[in-house]
Amino acid sequence: MSLKCKFDKERGLPLILTGFVILLDQITKAFIAARWPIYPGDHIRRIWPEAGYFHPENLLQIIHVRNTAIAFSIGQGLPPEVKRILFVILPIIVLIVLVWYYLSSDEFTKLQRWAIAGILGGGIGNIADRIFRTYKYDGELHGGVVDFISVRFFGLFGFERWPTFNVADSSVVVSCLLLLVTIFVSSKKSVTSDCSIEQSAKQSKEPTDEQET
């Protein structure tokens, strides 16, 4: 693999998805945060349906939640300085490395490049929240990533409702699954192809009936 970054149509076109995810993610978050703000000391703001109609069995609920940690609120109790390192600085480094690998590698298929573009868009969207929507109040960290989509999960994996998420989270999860599937399919095809080549080589080396006689 070349260490030199390249930028051509094959690499540039999927980045449109990156920009689209960032734009849609930030627009929806800005709307939720402006229309139904959460103030210091608040943890949740119920939006839709109205309070009297909220029920655990509702398939979809819109709930304004701020997450200063990562997925499933992991790391919520960590000190602010540790959170900044683990949830802001480290992810930025990871995204920079991913962008470099995306631009320099020739190993990705077209579909895999679109999947990586979706991961980049979601990652940047949430990092932007951790930088610009987080603030200190009375010595405590407030704000964080805007989550607002809550769906019923019918007890799967122990969740009656899936942890509240946003557009960026959706993009990362779907894109990661797509990337894993394409990598699995590609590796399976590669193994099948290698076996076929090996089998053909063996057959070509086997003596024919005429050679034996």
Whether residue 210 is contained in a domain is answered as no
Whether residue 205 is contained in a domain is answered as no
Whether residue 94 is contained in a domain is answered as yes
**Hey, what are 154's tokens?**
């019918």
Whether residue 20 is contained in a domain is answered as yes
Q: Residue 205 and residue 200: Cα distance in Å, rounded?
A: 9
**Per-residue pLDDT, 38:** 81
Do 61 and 138 form a contact (C-beta atoms < 8 A)?
A: no
**pLDDT(213) > 60:** no
Segment 188-211, tens digit of pLDDT: 665 555 555 556 555 666 555 555
Q: Is 61 left (phi over 0), alpha (psi -120 to 50) or beta?
A: beta
Q: Count the domains in the chain.
A: 1
Segment 74-119, tens digit of pLDDT: 666 677 677 778 888 999 999 999 999 999 999 899 999 999 999 9
**Hey, what are 208's tokens?**
């024919």
Do 5 and 105 form a contact (C-beta atoms < 8 A)?
A: no
**pLDDT(167) > 70:** yes
**Hey, what are 148's tokens?**
């607002």
Segment 28-78, tens digit of pLDDT: 999 999 988 887 666 677 777 666 666 667 788 898 988 877 765 666 667
**Which residues are catalytically annotated?**
147, 169
Do 174 and 17 form a contact (C-beta atoms < 8 A)?
A: no
Segment 169-182, tens digit of pLDDT: 999 999 999 999 99
Q: Please state whether the predicted TM-score (pTM) of the whole model is above 0.85.
A: no
Q: Which residue range(s) make up the domain with 144?
A: 9-187
**Per-residue pLDDT, 180:** 95
Vertex 19 angle, CA 146 and 36, to 5°:
25
- The alpha carbons of the chain give a radius of gyration, in whole angstroms, of 24
Whether residue 198 is contained in a domain is answered as no
Whether residue 69 is contained in a domain is answered as yes
Whether residue 199 is contained in a domain is answered as no
Whether residue 183 is contained in a domain is answered as yes
Do 47 and 64 form a contact (C-beta atoms < 8 A)?
A: yes
